[in-house]
Structure 1
């Protein structure tokens, strides 16, 4: 509970709005705050009341590196102060629950207040030194130049195309498909090597020869491929199999500077959406999730729309709902639907008859809204689904 409360309070501050909007970066900051809580608590269990040394573990250095690379170095220091204040409020509540003896309570709060303040001050000083080092490194080298140019393009600032292409070693007037890659290993380890391997596999799958890569954090890459990439089911399955600890979101293909920008922003939007759904796909594209993401900001209305349009079909078995969805995609061709589902045509026909009996209106009368409702139903969040009723398997 403490980890979640401290993390939520930290990311709710206005200065960290950009961090909160980025799933990879916000998770990095949460891990940093959680690590500080654990470090202080563990040290006090080993040696109660003794000074706790600054937390300068590899994780804290990685968090500092991530934040500086995204221009959020100073915000990191404020985040740790906010985390300290929130943790102190929780600690005081716990202390008041442990004792009602005034003298004992005064001693407990005095000792722990000094301990926490000293620990956070020392940790922030160490982090500030690391931030200075990271900033110095970022002001030198090709990666810094790339990041600066890309930031200008994404922000819509005027950029001399010839200069940008020279720095990026990438043509901007051709086709683009952007992707956001991040590590999904449970321990947060792995670095950039798995992401680089995935990026190379994606380039090869797209039939391209090169890519533009920007290091977004210690555990995330932004890439652009000069191609209009659309992965089929077999290609997605192979990339998943070969890269089990990499998450990837692809944006809409585009062309020129505007397409470069829009493709990346749609990839980020896809990443934000997949973090809200249960058992998200490792690889997702904006084209797959566009309809569902449009309703993501209003899950209550989306849930009501699904229930109103689908009626009892909303609670039907997964195979029946999926058959109707694929049948609509196949433009009402039962044989094509059977082929896509690896099912017998008669099975498809029986499922469609069952669906018609469950729908408020027959499928042929309202295929557009029924298809939309099924697509929303497929990608809705856990909370979205629970509003309709428990015990229904997520697709």
Structure 2
């Protein structure tokens, strides 16, 4: 709640106090240099002002704005003592706010108004105590001016805070739009120079790249995508990245590394799927890895898919053979026959047997089961296949991959 919500309804200022306010305002306008120096010192000592205080041009503008606000408050009170002073946002103040946003500052940089207010109030009280010895007049004088000053600072800081947050949001949107445009040009192979692209992307195009596409399941909070990305970066030993928001629940990511570790990160965020392209070099690698990641993303998006992370190396053959969906379906059906609808344990056993180089003992070890169980399941698979697996191993292995990914 702002101070203004706590103040009582305005009451008329008595003529005697109004004249005291005018007299005090004249003293403010004729303040000695040491008072101005103390106010300036207070204005630059706020918690969010460190960066401003160290930037001479920016500091000069900040002090001019503070001085202008003081003059504005004084001018209004000369005409209407004790009145609620309207906020006066000058064009210089608006430019200052935009400059703060461009330099990464947020509303904490407005602390200067609060710290300067404290010093200004102390100096104003010194003036007030020199104006009258009448306790009733002094009480009214302090109450009226305290309310006027606090309201003016509250209103000013609130309006400037809204301006700076708006400027930050607009800047972020502009930066993201530029980044998306630069990424699109690179992906399209447009003749954009490396210097211009890297400037807009804030990401180097030389060296290794691995592209990822992070997708959230329906209902997954967007921050889970960001958290997953950060976990992958940490596990992969990288601190830089390029991120483009592709949709409400999809991120395109590039990491400057040829080795990406994603399994643990995905297990910690079960609502996120991660598609990973092959590592590539320079601009061509940047493009190729991304298109590969998009291919994996399409396969991961299958309604029946339970996979949370997959790499292009795992799906290269499936991507090549699965372009014609009807042909792929026909190939799987004719090759596997009744095995296509077999129990999942039988299908898993045959896949593990192929992965183990068609060795039964190694298959049993991978599946944590007895070799006789493996033999029984392989026999069951042979009984369901149109042709025994050992007579047609390549076709059966490919058909099982297609079945697992796209059919």
Instruction: Give the TM-score band, short-chain normalised.
Output: 0.5 to 0.7
Q: What is the deviation of 1:318?
A: 1.4
5 Å-filtered alignment, 1:40-79, equals: none
5 Å-filtered alignment, 1:169-318, equals: 169-186=202-219, 190-191=221-222, 193-229=223-259, 236=263, 238-318=264-344
Structure 2 SS opposite 1:142: helix
Residues of 2 paired with 1:140 and 1:308: CA distance? 53
TM-score after normalising by structure 2: 0.53
Shift in CA distance, 305/218, structure 1 to aligned 2, threshold 3 Å? closer
Residue 181 (structure 2) aligns with? 148
TM-score after normalising by structure 1: 0.54
Structure 2 SS opposite 1:371: helix
Q: In the alignment, is the contact (CA less than 8 A) between 1:312 and 1:359 conserved in 2? A: yes
Structure 1 residue runs of 4 or more that deviate by more than 6 Å after TM superposition = none
Shift in CA distance, 174/317, structure 1 to aligned 2, threshold 3 Å? same
1:330 equivalenced with 2:356 (yes/no):
yes
Structure 2 SS opposite 1:247: strand
Unaligned stretches of 5+ residues in structure 1: 1-132, 382-395
Shift in CA distance, 138/368, structure 1 to aligned 2, threshold 3 Å? farther
Shift in CA distance, 347/139, structure 1 to aligned 2, threshold 3 Å? closer
Structure 2 SS opposite 1:332: coil
Q: What is the deviation of 1:155?
A: 0.8
Residues of 1 paired with 2:281 and 2:230: CA distance? 21
Q: What is the deviation of 1:280?
A: 4.2
Of 366, 370, 380, the match for 2:406 = 380
Residues of 2 paired with 1:326 and 1:139: CA distance? 49
Structure 2 SS opposite 1:277: coil
Residues of 2 paired with 1:213 and 1:354: CA distance? 48
Residues of 2 paired with 1:165 and 1:331: CA distance? 46
Residue 390 (structure 2) aligns with? 364
Aligned residues: 241
Residues of 1 paired with 2:403 and 2:359: CA distance? 22
Residues of 2 paired with 1:363 and 1:218: CA distance? 45
Q: Once the two structures are superposed, what CA deviation does each residue of 1:175-205 show, in whole Å capped at 9, x if it has no partner?
A: 211111233242x6x23x2211110111123
Shift in CA distance, 339/255, structure 1 to aligned 2, threshold 3 Å? farther
What value does the CA root-mean-square deviation take over the aligned residues? 2.8
- When Rg is computed on C-alpha atoms for both structures, the one with the higher figure is 2
